[in-house]
Amino acid sequence: MTTTHSFLIESDRARHDLFLDGDFIATFPSHEAAEAEANRIASTSLTFELDLKSTLSNLEIRGATFDADQLISSVSR
- Domain boundaries, given as residue ranges, for the chain: 3-56
11 or 56: whose pLDDT is higher? 11
Residues with Cβ within 8 Å of 32's Cβ and at least 6 positions away in sequence, in order, are none
pLDDT at 4 over 70: yes
> Where would I find the H helices in the chain?
31-42
* pLDDT above 70: residue 72: no
pLDDT tens figures, 14-68: 899 999 999 999 999 999 999 999 999 998 999 999 989 988 888 999 999 998 8
Q: What is the pTM of this model?
A: 0.84
**Region 2-9: what's the mean pLDDT?**
92
**Nearest by Cα to 37 from 59, 69, 9, 2:** 9
Helix (H) or strand (E) segment spanning residue 26 = strand 23-28
